[in-house]
Amino acid sequence: MTIHRLESHADFVRVHFHPGSGPRHADFHWFWLRHNSELDRHPLTHERIVCSSELPFELRPRDVRVTSDATALEVDWGDRADGQVSRYDSQWLQTHAYAMGRSPAPAPPSDVSALAVDPKRLDGPLGRAVLQRLQDTGAAVVRGFGNDTEALIEAFGREGLSVIETHFGRIEDLRTDNTTNLHTDQLGYTDSAVQLHTDQPFLERPPRYQLLHCQRPAEVGGENSVVDGLAAALHLADVDSHAFDLLRTVPVTFHRKQRDFERVLTAPLLDFAAPGGFRIRYSYFTLAPHRVPFAEMEAWYRAYNRFAKLVRDEHHQYRFRLGEGDLLVYDNWRMLHARTAFSGARWLRGVYFDAE
Ligand SMILES: [Fe+2]
């Protein structure tokens, strides 16, 4: 059996074999290939003379190719003074394949057109189209609706969504000069960047949806981003099942203390057993000091950081800027959201909704 073609990915290579019966491709991590290479063998005994711990885990090849007779894979690691490349016979790869026929869970998507709902090209009511988009992608962006937030509340109300009043009130005015809210001692009311988070993870049932309705954009900055936390969780499960299990099972504590408000809640970050379905709680500014046995702490931080790195990669984010009259609605149980720092009198109106 020969090698038909290769697909090179960031962490692994996919080898397509041909012809064959059953699965015709297998995935191999780069580090696994480097460790199992014929390089670094004793010239007489042919035993391996390098331990995997001596090789850089993040090593990526300079070049990867199929030999002209299609019987082997060749990898040039670019780190050899002698210019030698690794060679893996097709038969050897199949004998030692550990991920034959694997179908990966994709990383969170970033094509922002998937969120767009155009009010001028709808068959039915806007509220219904937004709700459908929320179910499909976790977020919806509507351009040029205008500034009437009450009209939006009515439109969503007709689809069964009710406004959830929180300690920020019924409608919160997110602006640096807010004087109507008693709880403005938080990042959202400043002009600083707010990194990815979910809202109000310290509540037993965080608000399901949030509308962010732009009344006045920033002069500079103030871009929004949202990330599909469910896709990120499933991708993590696919590439690092131990990290996924830790974030799914180890409870963390969220603690919000403001001048006149305090809540504490303990729950796992990735909750697949929550009533109503998947729920992600992720908030670096309300995460309380983490407590687990000493021997478990490093592993938890590694898992958390791996997830954070995944969602903070801009290639895995929907990124856009809201203009006056534009709006974003996102599912706060599924999506993370963020905004960049800004200058100018940016003013967004925020409203929480739930279907109950
Ligand atoms: Fe937020």
Q: Assess whether pLDDT exceeds 90 at residue 298.
A: yes
The residue among 274 and 179 whose pLDDT is bigger is 274
The domain segmentation of the chain, as residue ranges, is: 3-96, 112-355
Q: Which two tokens stand for residue 122?
A: 């709808």
Please give the distance, rounded to the nearest whole angstrom, from the Cα atom of residue 198 to the centre of ligand 1: 6
Partner residues linked to 331 by β-bridges: 209
pLDDT of 23 reads 62
Mean pLDDT, rounded, for 188-214: 93
pLDDT digits (tens, 9 = 90+) for 90-99: 999 999 999 9
d(CA 261, CA 198): 18
Please give the distance, rounded to the nearest whole angstrom, from the Cα atom of residue 214 to the centre of ligand 1: 14
Mean pLDDT, rounded, for 31-43: 93
Confidence at 61, pLDDT banded by 50, 70, 90: very high
**Angle of the 149-157 helix axis to the 126-137 helix axis, nearest 10:** 80
Mean pLDDT, rounded, for 58-75: 96
Q: Assess whether pLDDT exceeds 70 at residue 313.
A: yes
Please give the distance, rounded to the nearest whole angstrom, from the Cα atom of residue 337 to the centre of ligand 1: 6
Please give the distance, rounded to the nearest whole angstrom, from the Cα atom of residue 243 to the centre of ligand 1: 25
H/E element, 310: helix 294-312
Q: Assess whether pLDDT exceeds 80 at residue 22.
A: no
d(CA 219, CA 345): 7
Mean pLDDT, rounded, for 68-75: 96
pLDDT of 173 reads 85
Mean pLDDT, rounded, for 301-328: 97
Please give the distance, rounded to the nearest whole angstrom, from the Cα atom of residue 207 to the centre of ligand 1: 11
Confidence at 176, pLDDT banded by 50, 70, 90: confident
- CATH classification number, 112-355, choose in 2.60.120.10, 3.40.1190.10, 3.60.130.10, 3.40.50.300: 3.60.130.10
Which amino acid type is present at position 260? D
pLDDT of 169 reads 81
Give one DSSP letter per residue of 248-281, joined into a string.
Answer: HHSEEEEEEEETTEEEEEEEESEESSSTTS-EE-
Q: Assess whether pLDDT exceeds 80 at residue 178.
A: no
pLDDT of 276 reads 87
Using DSSP's 3-state secondary structure scheme, residue 66 falls into strand
- CATH classification number, 3-96, choose in 3.30.470.20, 3.30.2020.30, 3.65.10.10, 3.40.50.620: 3.30.2020.30
pLDDT digits (tens, 9 = 90+) for 283-297: 999 999 999 999 999
- Taking alpha carbons only, the member of 72, 50, 71, 73 closest to residue 63 is 73
126-135, 174-183, 229-238: which range is least confident on average?
174-183
Please give the distance, rounded to the nearest whole angstrom, from the Cα atom of residue 229 to the centre of ligand 1: 14
